[in-house]
Amino acid sequence: MAEIIENLLPHVVEKWQELLECTWQTLYMTGFSGIISFVLGLALGIVLIATRKGGVLQNTVLYGILDKIINLFRSIPFIILLASLIPLTRLVVGTAIGTKGAILPLIFGTVPFFSRQVESALSEVDDGLVEAAAAMGTSPIGIIFRVYLKESIPSLTRVTTITAVSLVGLTAMAGAIGGGGLGDFAIRYGHQRNQIDITFVTVIILLVIVMILQEIGNLIIKRTTH
Amino acid sequence: MIELAGISKSFVTKGKNVEAVKDVTLHIKEHEIYGIIGFSGAGKSTLVRCINLLERPDSGKVILGERELTNLSDKELREARKDIGMIFQHFNLFPSRTVFQNVAYPLKGRGLSKEEIKEKVLELLKLVELEDKENAYPSQLSGGQKQRVAIARALATDPKVLLCDEATSALDPQTTHSILKLLKQLNQNLGITIVIITHEMAVIKEICDRVAVMEHGKVVEEGEVFEVFANPRQEITKAFINTTSALRKIYDLLEENSPVVALKPGEKILKLQYLEKSVSEALISTISRKFNIDCNIIFASIEIIGDAPLGGTIIIAQGKAEDIQEAIRYLKERNILVEVLKDGGNH
């Protein structure tokens, strides 16, 4: 058995410790920037829903500004964002390379996308529910938490899963400019040295990560949909 | 109880200014069931939302009891809304919450203990006869059951007023009837004032004490249900009456020259309508005996509104022309509206 694996995946066996480390880096980048992006994106999405026209805390000026900033960041390709954020990253985390250096660009790349997703998930909440809550004397803040967020848990889970999966993809890209992780590993060995088995195994690992994320998401959606 | 004084509200849609409610003044008395009827787009939904200020009127005052709601701060208004329950056409129950949690919703954050909330919710569910559904989700309920849950939820804060916005429009006639019966019971047992918005005549007839007829944002006619529908002054009111009265059918029959309305000489088709609440005499027997005419009832449509019959009868009267004239005079004296629809001529 060991012999077969060695024959099929010679380079993987040779560098399995580095592979393990890179997998951990990918998980670390996804987790760390994912949690921060989740909090920021959720907050922004809520602000968008609350301040939009007809929202519970309507403020068209604030909405207009946020809307344009989000569009701006969403239209910048991630690879350019990575490069152009280097000075800011240095300032904030002290280094622009390695796993630590990748966190900030990942957050900048994810938050605008996620806040739009949150906005669309929250806007699926029936206006009638908001009206009913208002008629029962619920405050605007109460409406945000007790109606918008509570009633859209399945949709929020769905968009969180989508965003998390795309974040895994972004971490691979961040790796390309010295961020570490599985993307970096695959490019350095699989691509540049033409060690096909490395690329193959990397893809399998990423696939497993994505599948696990998706399954967790599906489970939560199933549990919270009535 | 509720005073609406000079309420106006307009919206801007697609660049156009639409006046949804124009200078409406209404007084709704305590403990009554007040109906507001109008076709869609008449502004009745906007008007009812002006009562709890879900829509803030551009001008005019809303007074509930002693308080002028239009003068309250946002916070005071939220407190005041606990005195005004509201139910909706599409129920607006929270789909992620069970029946129990839906009814408990307005009780949260009011300093009640878990036990107190539980007791109150179960009591409300008993009131709407849904004790066994406390753990069901709204998606598992029928339309009528959903509206019952919505009623229980609206009553949780012991409101003095219940606003019903087309609350039965999404329900079948039988369910509508059972919901209206429940509303009537609540009105009688709890003394709650009910305001009902509807486009269905049947709803007004079944439970309302007084009614306002709305058209193009204005109240065009208002008063006791019986008075308004016995003597409709506006075309729109007549149109609503026609939606439920079978009497209009006679006009179709006359137009088609149906054999039902074929007359022999000496016969006349008469339409008799009650105008007053006092009708308990056996009028048709009386005229038949007194004036020596034969009365053949083709059809009748009589409904009991506010404990008095409203509607009319179509008869073919056969006899001498002068006897029929006498009979008509006699009926008119008793406040019956008599119309000769067709005359078969003399012998």
* pLDDT tens profile B308-335: 777 788 899 998 888 999 999 998 888 8
Measured in angstroms, the CA of B99 and the nearest CA of chain A are apart by 12
B54 at A interface, C-beta within 8 A: yes
User: Is pLDDT larger for residue B195 or for residue B295?
Assistant: B195
Same domain (yes/no): B230, B259? no
The pLDDT assigned to B279 comes to 57
Across the range B123-145, mean pLDDT stands at 95
Task: Name, of B18-32, B235-249, B260-274, the range with top average pLDDT.
Answer: B18-32
| Lowest-pLDDT range of A83-97, A158-172, B89-103, B166-180 | A83-97
Per-residue pLDDT band for A37 (boundaries 50, 70, 90) equals: very high
pLDDT at B188 (0 to 100): 95
Q: Is residue B107 part of a domain?
A: yes
Contacts B163 to A, Cβ<8 Å = 135
Region B333-338: what's the mean pLDDT?
Answer: 85
Instruction: Compute the average pLDDT of residues B197-211.
Output: 91
Shortest distance, CA A161 to any CA of chain B (angstroms): 20
* pLDDT at position B66 over 60: yes
**Better-predicted residue by pLDDT, B50 or A7:** B50
Question: Average pLDDT of B219-239?
Answer: 86
Which of A8-22, B41-55, B134-148 has the weakest average pLDDT?
A8-22
Nearest to A226 among B86, B95, B109 (CB): B95
User: Are B78 and A139 in contact (CB < 8 Å)?
Assistant: yes
Partners of residue B108 in chain A, C-beta under 8 Å: 146
Inside any domain, residue B164: yes
For residue B159, what are the contacts with CB-CB under 8 A and spacing of at least 6? B82, B83, B84, B85, B192
Q: What is the mean pLDDT of residues A179-198?
A: 86
**Least CB–CB distance from B82: residue in A126, A134, A137:** A137
Does residue B286 sit within a domain? yes
Q: Are residues B148 and B258 in the same domain?
A: no
Residue A218 confidence (pLDDT): 96
Same domain, B183 and B288: no
pLDDT of B280 reads 65
pLDDT tens digit sequence for A147-165: 999 999 999 999 999 999 9
Please report the residues numbered 50 through 79 in chain A whose beta carbons come closer than 8 angstroms to any beta carbon of chain B: none
Of A86-90, B160-164, B237-241, the least confident: B237-241
The reply to whether residue A137 touches residue B109, judged by beta carbons under 8 angstroms, is no
Query: In this structure, what CATH number is given to the domain that contains residue B167?
Result: 3.40.50.300
Chain A residue with minimum CA distance to B140: A226
Residues B278 and B223 occupy one common structural domain: no
Whether residues B191 and B49 share a domain: the answer is yes
**Domain end: B235, B257, B279, which one?**
B235
Are B116 and B51 in the same domain? yes
**What percent of chain B is predicted at pLDDT more than 90?**
58
- In angstroms, the separation between the Cα of residue A151 and the nearest Cα of chain B is 6
Instruction: Tell me the pLDDT of chain B averaged across its residues.
Output: 90
pLDDT of B119 above 90 = yes
**Using CB atoms and an 8 Å cut-off, which of residues 119-138 of chain A contact chain B?**
126, 128-129, 131-138
Among candidate residues B330, B328, B314, B316, the one with its CA nearest the CA of residue B266: B316
**Distance separating alpha carbons of residues A65 and B147, to the nearest angstrom:** 42
List the single range of A113-117, B211-215, B252-256, B291-295 with lowest mean pLDDT: B252-256
B104 and B30: one domain? yes
- B224 and B254 share a domain? no
Residue in B72, B91, B94, B157 to test binding to A, most A beta-carbons within 10 Å:
B94
Query: Does residue B101 or residue B229 have the better pLDDT?
Result: B101
Residue B104 within any structural domain of the chain: yes
Same domain, B257 and B206: no
Residue B243 lies in a domain: no
User: Closest partner residue to A136 among B90, B105, B138, by Cβ?
Assistant: B105
Residues B301 and B209 in one domain: no
Asked whether the predicted pLDDT for residue B306 surpasses 70, the reply is no
Q: What is the mean pLDDT of residues B125-134?
A: 94
β-pair partners for B302: B311
- Our count of domains for chain B comes to 2
Between chains, do A128 and B109 touch, taking CB under 8 Å as contact?
no
In whole numbers, what is the pLDDT of chain A averaged over residues? 91
B129 and B182 housed in the same domain? yes
Query: Would you call B95 an interface residue with chain A, using a CB distance cutoff of 8 Å?
Result: yes
Q: Quick check: is B244 in a domain? A: no
User: Are B332 and B277 members of one domain?
Assistant: yes
Taking the CA of residue B52 and the nearest CA in chain A, the distance in Å comes to 7
In the β-sheet with B210-215, what is the strand arrangement from edge to edge?
B84-87, B161-165, B193-198, B33-37, B210-215, B218-224
User: What is the set of domains in chain A, with CATH numbers?
Assistant: 2-224 (1.10.3720.10)
Mutation for testing the A interface, residue in B12, B14, B96 having most A CBs under 10 Å = B96
Interface pTM (ipTM) of the complex? 0.86
A153 and B139 within 8 Å at the Cβ level: the answer is no
- Please report the residues numbered 142 through 161 in chain A whose beta carbons come closer than 8 angstroms to any beta carbon of chain B: 142, 146-147, 150-151, 153
Domain that holds residue B324: 249-343
For residue B277, pLDDT beyond 70: no
* pLDDT at position B178: 94
Instruction: Say if B214 falls within a structural domain.
Output: yes
Smallest Cα–Cα separation from B129: which of B109, B152, B102, B96? B152
Residue B151 in any domain: the answer is yes
Candidate from A67-76, B185-194, B239-248 with smallest mean pLDDT: B239-248
pLDDT of amino acid B347:
63
Q: What is the DSSP string of A64-133?
A: HHHHHHHHHHHHS-HHHHHHHTHHHHHHHHS-SSHHHHHHHHHHHHHHHHHHHHHHHHHHTS-HHHHHHH
The pLDDT of residue B265: 86
CATH number, position B281: 3.30.70.260
Interface A–B counts its CB contacts (< 8 A) at 57
Residue B278: predicted pLDDT: 60
